[in-house]
Amino acid sequence: MSVRQIYLDNNSTTPVDPRVVDTMVPYFHEIPGNAASRTHPFGWKAEEAVDYGREQIANLIGVDSKEIIFTSGATESDNLALKGAFEMYSRKGDHIITLQTEHKAVLDSCKKIEKLGGKVTYLEVERNGIVDLNKLREAITDKTILISIMWANNETGVIQPMKEIGEICAEKGILFMSDATQAVGKIPVNPKEVGIHLMAFTSHKMYGPKGVGALFVNRKNPRVKVTSQMDGGGHERGMRSGTLNVPGIVGFGKAAELCGQDMVKDTQRLSALRDKLENNLMTNLEEVYINGSVDHRMPHVTNLSFKHVEGEGLMMTFNNIAVSSGSACTSASLEPSYVLMALGLGDDLAHSSIRFSLGRFNTEEDIDLAADSLLKGVNHMRDLSPIWEMYKEGIDLESVVWSEH
């Protein structure tokens, strides 16, 4: 009898919705055209499909379809927005502000910009994962050209005060960029309403295919341009060359349409399941902590620390549940999550964290089975742990001097 596999790692990638797959299939063989081929019906049909996908995606976030630039995913979109804006606006200034808890695609792009002579301020966040707006304001100089702050964090699900940040940017005449990868399709996201000028997101976090993403680039008040990072045939308004991934864009468009239709229903259902999981674990286990703000977070995500239980070890106690410890993009390393360390967690709690990210295809049964496995796993790990025993005996572990022999 095979063990039921439970997928609770939707922040790293989502399963593709079967309705999305059905929409994509014809574009692999029956309609094989290149959207840039203007001389025959195959190309025209491909171009039509791309235009329609662009509209579906633009509708989801309330922008003009001409403001959607297709890329290979959010990492490329982040690179294009940051490096492209840094180059384009270099006469105006060379300073960028971001957060220590951003995705590596943003942080590593900023590191590259520093090598190119730019200056980057990496702001700390508060214990709840949210930026202090006064510190943000204080960090701005007359050379600041762009502030890059993610809409929702990939590890904790914490949502930043986007409207207030947008107001600061507008007041100071600074571009506002956001990696909204974890938010688009899950909660209402409208960059124009909050004053965002550049916004990265991707298909595979919202039940679409991998390998296709987008960058929103504001066209009016102000008209924003970024220098292309990929040169070639001048595709995508000269901002991103390369033959478009037609089947991917068709799928991305359909995924966006379905998210628009199902968002309210999905949000209510998933937040109830997430709360059920949290309540079950926190009622039946001692020393379980939610990382990041409980009031300002995504409806489908919880990041929990189980005191004195090593996260990687806990995951080895079950092999039928997909979750992640730390960020999926850096989980090859056994370093504690840099996001959780930035929230001020000590090594012990950061090492004991597990991220649960629920999705459209999860059921109540999944949650019950996952909670059951976790309760057994945590109790098993603690039974084996001399540190937990010492903690239970009331020994102050901070004051213990560990022998090196």
Catalytic pick from 110, 169, 259, 329? 329
Name residue 144's beta-bridge partners. Answer: 95
Confirm if 198 and 218 have CB atoms less than 8 A apart.
yes
Q: Is 110 a catalytic residue?
A: no
Tokens at 81, concatenated: 């927005």
Confirm if 191 and 209 have CB atoms less than 8 A apart.
no
Active site residues: 329
